Amino acid sequence: MQDNRRVVEMLRAGNEACFQSLFRRYYKPLCTYATRFVSLSRAEELVQDTLMWIWENRNSLLPELPLKSLLFTIVKNKALNSASRNSIRNRVMRELAESYEERFDDPDLYVENELMQRLTAALRKMPPEFQQTFRMHRLEGMTHREIAEALHVSPQTVNYRIGQTVRMLREELKDCWPLMLLLFGHDFF
């Protein structure tokens, strides 16, 4: 791992043992660094995504660019973007709660069971692989990497499926989306 040029050459040649060494060498330090900005579980996810990106884009790596710097820069940017999105989400959630407070205080407006039924019905309209991926991540708490390994797909495929499922749910449940977010939490969606 000391000779950056050699490591990049080996990665570009598809040397999986080199990638595994890189993964073992940088995974924990990158996670520790990312926790300065986000939670540990989110940090682990961002680091896994970053390392998988390195592997999938290994042919475009430049031997002159130190991998260590590249890894820490990518993780920092991903963590800052994630933290920024979360703070924006929190502000939007507070504003929604305030603007809909009167309607949400009306007990006839919603029944949690009814909302769960609507969510379940909307999920059933999704492709089976999207349903499975969404459930594994949101209900079972599995990371993108764990899901990818279990389903034999890439972590990017997992990310795509979850993103598409949330997008389709948002469209399908648009009339009650703010309420869904308040009841189930923005982390669920």
Q: What is the Cα–Cα distance from 131 to 140, expressed in whole angstroms? A: 13
Query: Packing angle between helix 67-99 and helix 40-56, nearest 10 degrees?
Result: 130
Q: What is the Cα–Cα distance from 123 to 130, expressed in whole angstroms? A: 9
Query: Which pLDDT score, from 0 to 100, does residue 7 have?
Result: 93
Question: What torsion do the CA atoms of 66, 67, 69, 75 make, to the nearest 10 degrees?
Answer: 160
| 44 confidence band (pLDDT: 50, 70, 90) | very high
Domains for the chain: give ranges and CATH numbers.
4-81 (1.10.1740.10), 106-184 (1.10.10.10)
How would DSSP label each residue in 142-183?
--HHHHHHHHTS-HHHHHHHHHHHHHHHHHHTTTTHHHHHHH
Query: Which pLDDT score, from 0 to 100, does residue 97 have?
Result: 58
> CA quadruple 61, 64, 67, 69: dihedral positive or negative?
negative
Most confidently modeled of 9-23, 57-71, 86-100, 113-127?
A: 9-23
Cβ atoms 46, 21 nearer than 8 A: no
